[in-house]
C-alpha cells in the first residue's frame, strides 16, 4: 500500500476515534460504588400466618360477580379458628447505622411473624424486629438483634437530584441477592396512585419484585431513594420514595413514635378546566376545599368551603397531592401561611397545623360495604369505601359510586355507567346520597337539568342529565 494512502487512512481513523473518546470517558464506572455500597444492602425474608379463609377471600374478590356468592357458601365451612398456612415473602433493605437499623418498605414486613436478615457473604441469617412502620409512606424500620459494627449507608439530597442523572439500584429481585442495576432518573414528582404522598422518583434502572425496600444510590454512594413500586406491564419503569420525604419519617420511627405530619382538617379535590372557569381562576391549579372540619386548624384560620388553596408558605400548590405534601412537611404546631382564591380575590390566611391522624383522614372503616340507594334519575349510589377512594385517587369521604344504571332512565340516556364516581352535582360536592338528592330536588329540579361531575377511570368529565319537564 502506498505510503500516502497509509497515512491518509491512519489520519481518518484518528478523526473517527476522537468524538468517541470524551463520550466514553463520561460514562460512569459503577464497580467501585457497587463494591462499597453492596455490603450494607440486605435481603429480608419474612414469614406470616395466614388464615385459609383470608386467602380464599383475596382470591375471589378479584373475580367477576357471582364468585363471591360461591365464596360465601365456601366460607361457612371455616370458622375464625379454621385452617392456617405459613406465607413467606422476600424483599430488600439497607442498613443506616452500625448497630443494625434497617430501612425497608412497610409492605415487605407488614404482619410479619418473623423477619430474617441475610447479609452479603454471611451464611447464617440474623433475626430482626420491627421498630416502627409508616404505612402512608410505605416505610418501615427494623433492627437486627445485637447488631454491632455493621456497614451502613448515608442519605443524600434527593431534592437536588436532576432528571437524567445516573443512579444505581441494589436489591434482591426474585431472591437473587445483591443484584446491581444502573440507569438514570427518568422523572421526578410522579403520582401513581399508591398513597396520599405520591411523589416518586422514576428510574429506568431495572427494578423487579424483590427490589422493594432497597436503595437507589447517586454516584457518591448516597441513598437518594427507596425502591418501592414497578409497572408490572412495563420495562424500565420503577419508582422510589425520595430520601427527602423518608428522612423525617425515619427519625420519628427511630423514637418508636407515630410519624409527625401537619394537618389542616379539610377535604379537597383537584381543580379541572371547567371548575377553574366557573371560579374565574386563570388556569387549573390549587386544591379546592369541599369540606372544612369543625374545630380543626383550617376552620380556626378562616378557610371556607369553595376556597382554592394556591400556596402554602410560598410554595405553589398544583393539585391536591401538592397540598398534602406541603402541609404534611410542616411539623404539628408549625405555621402554614395560606394563599387562597375566594370568589375572584386573593385572600391571605394563617393556620397552625395539627397532627395528621390516618384514622381521621381515612374515616372509620365500615364493618360492611355501604348499601346502594336508588335515586329518581335511575342511578343506584353509595359512598365509597376508604380502600376504593385510595385506589381511585379520590379524597376519602368524597364522591358517590354508581353501582347500577336503570335501562332507559335519564341517567342511562345521558351515558352514565356502573363504576362511575359522581363528585359534584350542579357544582356542589356530594359525599352522601342525601346530599345528592337535596341538589336533585332543589336546584336541579328548578333548572330542569342536573350537571354531574363524574370520575371515570382516569378521566373527569361533566355529564348533563335532563330531568322530566315540570307539569
Cell of 366: 365500615
- Compute the distance between CA of residue 106 and CA of residue 141 in angstroms, rounded to an integer: 8
Strand-pair partners of 262:
355
Domain ranges in the chain with CATH number 2.30.42.10:
262-360, 363-466
CA 399 to chain centre: 19
Residue from 45, 92, 107, 218 carrying the catalytic annotation: 107
38-144 belongs to which CATH class?
A: mainly beta
Say whether 8 counts as a known binding-site residue: no
Cell of 358: 390516618
- Compute the distance between CA of residue 50 and CA of residue 86 in angstroms, rounded to an integer: 6
Q: Is 138 a catalytic residue?
A: yes
> Which pLDDT value is given to residue 64?
44
Q: Tell me whether residue 154 is exposed, middle or buried, using C-beta atoms within 10 angstroms of its C-beta: 0 to 12, 13 to 18, 19 or more.
A: exposed
Phi and psi based region of residue 458 (left: phi greater than 0; alpha: psi -120 to 50; beta: remaining)? alpha
Say whether 46 counts as a known binding-site residue: no
Domain ranges in the chain with CATH number 2.40.10.10:
38-144, 158-254
Whether the Cβ atoms of residue 348 and residue 339 lie closer than 8 Å to each other: yes
> Which pLDDT value is given to residue 6?
62
Integer angstrom CA distances of residue 262 from 201, 245, 311, 357 = 23, 13, 15, 9
Say whether 63 counts as a known binding-site residue: no
262-360 belongs to which CATH class?
A: mainly beta
Say whether 442 counts as a known binding-site residue: no
Residue from 92, 118, 138, 307 carrying the catalytic annotation: 138
The 8-class DSSP code of residue 365 comes to P
Say whether 329 counts as a known binding-site residue: no
Query: Which stretches within 214-291 are classed as H helix?
Result: 243-254, 273-278
Task: Kindly report whether the global pTM for this prediction surpasses the value 0.85.
Answer: no
Q: Is 107 a catalytic residue?
A: yes
Whether the Cβ atoms of residue 60 and residue 68 lie closer than 8 Å to each other: yes
Residue of 80, 89, 83 lying closest to 112 (CA atoms)? 89
Whether the Cβ atoms of residue 214 and residue 223 lie closer than 8 Å to each other: no
Say whether 232 counts as a known binding-site residue: yes
Q: For the chain (length 471 residues), average pLDDT per consecutive 10?
A: 60 53 67 95 88 51 44 47 68 96 94 92 91 93 92 96 96 91 94 82 93 95 95 83 93 90 90 85 92 91 93 94 91 96 94 84 45 87 81 80 91 91 90 86 86 86 79 38
Region 158-254: CATH code: 2.40.10.10
> Which pLDDT value is given to residue 14?
54
Grid cell 476522537 is found at 18
> The CATH number of 363-466 is which of 2.60.40.10, 2.30.42.10, 2.40.50.140, 3.30.1330.10?
2.30.42.10
For residues 463, 466, 467, 470, the Cα torsion angle rounded to the nearest 10 degrees is 150
- Compute the distance between CA of residue 162 and CA of residue 173 in angstroms, rounded to an integer: 26
Residue of 259, 260, 250 lying closest to 140 (CA atoms)? 250
- Compute the distance between CA of residue 99 and CA of residue 117 in angstroms, rounded to an integer: 14
Cell of 139: 416505610
Integer angstrom CA distances of residue 155 from 101, 122, 237 = 14, 25, 23
Say whether 34 counts as a known binding-site residue: no
Residue from 45, 158, 186, 212 carrying the catalytic annotation: 212
Say whether 309 counts as a known binding-site residue: no
Helix pair 67-75, 52-60: axis angle to 10 deg? 170
Say whether 353 counts as a known binding-site residue: no
Number of helices (H), then strands (E), in the chain:
15, 27
Q: How many CB atoms lie within 10 A of CB 184?
A: 15
Amino acid at each position: 500500500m502506498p505510503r500516502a494512502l497509509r497515512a491518509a487512512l491512519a489520519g481518518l481513523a484518528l478523526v473517527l476515534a476522537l468524538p468517541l473518546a470524551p463520550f466514553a470517558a463520561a460514562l460512569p464506572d459503577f464497580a467501585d460504588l457497587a463494591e462499597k455500597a453492596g455490603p450494607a444492602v440486605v435481603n429480608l425474608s419474612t414469614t406470616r400466618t395466614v388464615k385459609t379463609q383470608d386467602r380464599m377471600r383475596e382470591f375471589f374478590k378479584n373475580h367477576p360477580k357471582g364468585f363471591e356468592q360461591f365464596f360465601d357458601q365456601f366460607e361457612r365451612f371455616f370458622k375464625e379458628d379454621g385452617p392456617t398456612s405459613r406465607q413467606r415473602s422476600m424483599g430488600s433493605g439497607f442498613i443506616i447505622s452500625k448497630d443494625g437499623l434497617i430501612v425497608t418498605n412497610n409492605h415487605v414486613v407488614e404482619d410479619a411473624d418473623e423477619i430474617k436478615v441475610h447479609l452479603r457473604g454471611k451464611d447464617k441469617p440474623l433475626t430482626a424486629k420491627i421498630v416502627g412502620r409508616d404505612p402512608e409512606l410505605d416505610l418501615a424500620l427494623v433492627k437486627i438483634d445485637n447488631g454491632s459494627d455493621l456497614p451502613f449507608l448515608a442519605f443524600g439530597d434527593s431534592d437536588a437530584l436532576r432528571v437524567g442523572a445516573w443512579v444505581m439500584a441494589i436489591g434482591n429481585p426474585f431472591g437473587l441477592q445483591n443484584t446491581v442495576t444502573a440507569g438514570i432518573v427518568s422523572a421526578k414528582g410522579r403520582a401513581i396512585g399508591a398513597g396520599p404522598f405520591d411523589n416518586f422518583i422514576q428510574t429506568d434502572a431495572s427494578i423487579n419484585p424483590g427490589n422493594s425496600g432497597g436503595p437507589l444510590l447517586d454516584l457518591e454512594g448516597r441513598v437518594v431513594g427507596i425502591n418501592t413500586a414497578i409497572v408490572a406491564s412495563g420495562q424500565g419503569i420503577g419508582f422510589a420514595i425520595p430520601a427527602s420525604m423518608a428522612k423525617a419519617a425515619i427519625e420519628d420511627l427511630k423514637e418508636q413514635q407515630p410519624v409527625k405530619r401537619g394537618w389542616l382538617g379539610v377535604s379537597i379535590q383537584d381543580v379541572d378546566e371547567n371548575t377553574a372557569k366557573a371560579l374565574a381562576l386563570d388556569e387549573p391549579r390549587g386544591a379546592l376545599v369541599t369540606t372544612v372540619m369543625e374545630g380543626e386548624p383550617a376552620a380556626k384560620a378562616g378557610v371556607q368551603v369553595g376556597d382554592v388553596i394556591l400556596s402554602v408558605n410560598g410554595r405553589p400548590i398544583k393539585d391536591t397531592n401538592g397540598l398534602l405534601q406541603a402541609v404534611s412537611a410542616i411539623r404539628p404546631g408549625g405555621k402554614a401561611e395560606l394563599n387562597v382564591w375566594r370568589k375572584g380575590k386573593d385572600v391571605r390566611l394563617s393556620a397552625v397545623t395539627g397532627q395528621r391522624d390516618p384514622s381521621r383522614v381515612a374515616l372509620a372503616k365500615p364493618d360492611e360495604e355501604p348499601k346502594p340507594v336508588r335515586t329518581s334519575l335511575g342511578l343506584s349510589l353509595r359512598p365509597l369505601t376508604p380502600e376504593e377512594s385510595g385506589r381511585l385517587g379520590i379524597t376519602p369521604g368524597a364522591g358517590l359510586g354508581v353501582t347500577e344504571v336503570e335501562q332507559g332512565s335519564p341517567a342511562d340516556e345521558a351515558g352514565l355507567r356502573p363504576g362511575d364516581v359522581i363528585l359534584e352535582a350542579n357544582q356542589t360536592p356530594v359525599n352522601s346520597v342525601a346530599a345528592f338528592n337535596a341538589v336533585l330536588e332543589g336546584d336541579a329540579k328548578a333548572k330542569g337539568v342536573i350537571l354531574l361531575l363524574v370520575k371515570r377511570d382516569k378521566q373527569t368529565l361533566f355529564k348533563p342529565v335532563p330531568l322530566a319537564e315540570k307539569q
